[in-house]
Amino acid sequence: MTHIVWDWNGTLFHDIDAVVGATNEVFRPYGVGPFDPDGFRAVYTRPIWVAYERMLGRSLHDGEWERLDEGFHDHYHRLMLACELAEGALSSLQSWEQAGRTQSLLSMWGHERLVPKVNELGIARHFARVDGLRSASGGPKAEHMAVHILALGLDPENVVVIGDSVDDAHAAQHVGARAILYTGGMTSRVDLEQVGVPVVDSLVNALDLI
């Protein structure tokens, strides 16, 4: 493997507390929750509207997904200000770069917010490319991964995707890359292990596996 495609939320960026806090805020009027991180992981899945339907125990009404998504992001963008890089994130970026290998960042978070945040945290120089979501949120990552890999001109056989969700593994499989899943984000270890790819408890362990 010569290239890593990193996920952002829940992987390099340790924002589980902001995600859970924002989720609790938008579901409080429904009398649902509050969730702690483990409780949230027990219902979390992608696409995220399916997780919301699990929380509510019913299908979403017309327009309800859009309202919940907007409310979540309003709260998340406030709460994430207290969040930092995940433990081992910076050292992993540095050591991979020092080994003469390349890396990039692909996130399902809004591109217009992702790029400034990556710059603010001082890590933009480590990435050959940074891509966030430029369209409506909530869908699968696979097609975005295909565009990302094509833009970089990479052979997928030389690529490993490191992320915190089942969706990251499916996106890797979609393009013919490998995947390593990390337990520091929004998905439970049980769900991650069902995918059949390596699961690690630290980003440093992910690099050791590669």
Q: What is the 3-state secondary structure (H, E, C) of 73-104?
A: HHHHHHHHHHCEECCCHHHHHHHHHHCCCEEE
| pTM of the complete model beyond 0.95 | no
CA–CA gap between residue 163 and residue 148 (Å, rounded): 15
pLDDT tens per residue across span 51-84: 999 999 999 999 999 999 999 999 999 999 999 9
List, for residues 144-195, the tens digit of each pLDDT value.
999 999 999 999 999 999 999 999 999 999 999 999 999 999 999 999 999 9
| Cα–Cα dist 210/208, whole Å | 5
Q: Residue 7, Cβ neighbours under 10 Å: how many? A: 26
